[in-house]
Structure 1
Amino acid sequence: MTPGAHFDGESVVVTGHQAARTVLRDWQTFTVDDPRFTTSRLTGPSMLSTDGREHARHRAPFVGAFSPRRVDDRYAEQVQQLCAELVAAIRPRGRADLRQELAAPLAAAVMQRALGLGEVDRSMLLQWYDALSAEVELLTADGAPTDTGRCAYAAVAERVAARLPGSVLAAAGDSLDPAEVSANAVVMMLGGIDTTEGMISFALTHLLASDWAPRAAADPAVLERAVEESLRLEPAARFVDRYATADTGIGALAVPEGTLVRVDLRAANRDPAVFTDPDHFRPDRPELRRHLSFVVGPHVCIGAHLARLETVAAVRAALTGLPELALADGAAAVEGHVFVKPAHVHARWTP
């Protein structure tokens, strides 16, 4: 068996850190531009399912809106205010599921603003998101598209067609047609809600299950490293798929043209050749930022800075605003296949 990659039935699974970096960087040999690619079966072409010049054309209209400076200027104050409101609403009760009552509503509210969907009832937005997320999971498992998924996609496409001024979609019409704008909007909605909800939920779980929570509450630098270490241990999107464009190899493993190559980001982030004591939560590890959770190469996550900003703000609000915060019944099981998150984050505190 080649270290870091092996055949699993008809596909190759990449688990090693170096092998994963190689696959993710080499889009000419390992492409997303294949009719089997899950997201393209749902949305059609988007920045997630194209490579080369087409990928650049799809991605370019949104890069500026997600730059660190623009994200900080536009979202930092709003995110802090939302976190404060969400924490204040649950504080008197003394216990809650922080995934459902902090992580999920925060992630949804931020993407609602980003995509210019402020007039849409948030419960309806979450229904669309749930349907689209379930459709991605189904298609990844080789299921057939459903009417529910198609209807949810059509509903989002109808709402984003306006491309409201101030939304990240506003400038996209100069280089993308309406169908392409809708496809990229759905991609950003899935990534912006699902992965951020997972990041916040995992970060809270890891901190509250360790002795790092008091230090993270007191020191912003420790909190940022704790969020990063949580992201290393449990990437909110576990797998990314590529397809071999020609007969090739990963190390000594021969990979025939057309083979599905599935990169397991969680496994790559726990490669003992790179990460000491890889299965343990250690925010002080020196190799922390070598994780691949936001991918590397041309498809590096466009919303990474926004996701980090939301996660740090949500965790800080919980740790500082809920006295004696602790997990109520231990860490929950992880659910999901592509988009993964704790089933819940049941927590208790002193009201």
Structure 2
Amino acid sequence: MPVNLLATLALAYSPPPIIGGQGELRFEYRPDRLVLPKGASLRNAHGLVTDAAGRIYFTYEHGGNDTNCLVRWEADGTGARFLTAGGKALCEGVPHGLQLSDEEGHEFLYHANNEQKLTKTRLDGSIVWQRSGNFGQDPRLPYRPTWFATPPGPFVYLCDGYGSNRIYAFDKQSGAWAAGQVWGGKGGREQHGNFSTNHGCTYDVTADRIAVSDRANSRIEFYDYGRAGEPALEYSHTLDLRGTMGGGSLPCNLRTYPGQGGRGISPDLSGPVAVLDAAGRVASVVNVSVLLGPLGHRHPHDAILLPSGDMAVAEWNPGFVTYWKRLPSPARAGDVVG
């Protein structure tokens, strides 16, 4: 059979691109990017961040014979490598939320582990400080931490999203709890400052506020924070996602990007990933669980916009991490779009 005919047949029978999103914010799934290192075994996929060089960091709960929990790729999603300097001390338990902080020109990672372990590391995973178990809070309260917010200033703010629904502040340099500083607790939609699974704590760079993903209440709440001296949290406003993402919306996190027009991105555990405009409105939705559902992809848990404008998504269970390339051109006939 002629070579050109073989090429034509291969093209004719190749699957169409998988594309999600709307308008100018459309993304194509690229399975050739964010390939895990050999030996990686994901039970649950959790957190994603990028450093100043654009490199991608990913934290996960391992399964099988894998003892790792932290992976890094280059900015284009290639060149996967384990970051092993934290060893068992970092990876035992259930590694969960991941956050990056630039502190006087030095970059650090903050890790929240569901098994009552809080860790600050360098970018290679080597441990700066670690705090395990209760730290002085009310011992009668459940405690299963989920995420750190790392705003400018001397403090980080921890969401106890699977435990008490409270927020605690810690000193960045020492890891010491700012004793007596506690906010939140269990509450419904009618209450601002109380939560039902305050899963994600992140720093909204665009608004210079802390964003708390109040997952079971289908909303993100925004807080002004203490910029010097004592830590503080003061309620600012709420983004209710039920109108645009549906009544069953389960927002896990929010990340914002002033360098990309102030856009934000919010993964939803129920299946979609929302890209927001600078005003906090949902501008595009990539229905990950619909587009990749036949491959087992169901629960977006974290998502980031890359410096290129592309998108990376960590999907909780079963664990996946996926790369989505932004497409500037209009949809093509035959594309699978959702």
Normalised TM-score (structure 2): 0.27
Normalised TM-score (structure 1): 0.26
Higher helix share: 1
Larger RCO: 1 or 2 (CA < 8 Å, sep 6+): 1
